[in-house]
Amino acid sequence: MAVMARETWSDERLDDLKENVNRRFDEVDRRFGEVDKRFDKVDARFDKMDARFDKAETEMKAGFAEVNVRFDSMQRTMIICFVTLFASIWASVIGAVLAVLL
């Protein structure tokens, strides 16, 4: 069965439609108000987490600075050891050459 579309609307019917639309938009506005309140709570939680992350980031940077100091110290020790080893090898070679020549 085909439904015929209404071609004319009475003023009363248009007023009912307008009221229905207004009522629905009022409901949407009320629900958005509730959503805004919930977002305020979420924002507060993020502010708390941001403070925690700042503290953790500070601790992490201090830890990395300590590790960098230790790596620098190890690098200096390795350089000193390699220079000493290289010098002792050259001294042995020079000593052996001199022992053979004299």
Give pLDDT tens digits for 44-60. Answer: 888 888 777 888 888 88
Question: Is 56 inside a domain boundary?
Answer: yes
pLDDT at residue number 10: 73
Question: Is 86 inside a domain boundary?
Answer: no
pLDDT at residue number 4: 57
State which residues form the domain around 61: 13-76
Q: Give mean pLDDT in consecutive 10-residue pieces for the chain, a chain of 102 residues.
A: 62 78 86 85 81 83 93 96 97 94 85
Total domain count, the chain? 1
Question: Is 102 inside a domain boundary?
Answer: no
**In the chain, what is the straight-line distance between the N-terminal and C-terminal CA atoms, in Å?**
125
Amino acid at 24: R
pLDDT at residue number 100: 92
pLDDT at residue number 1: 52
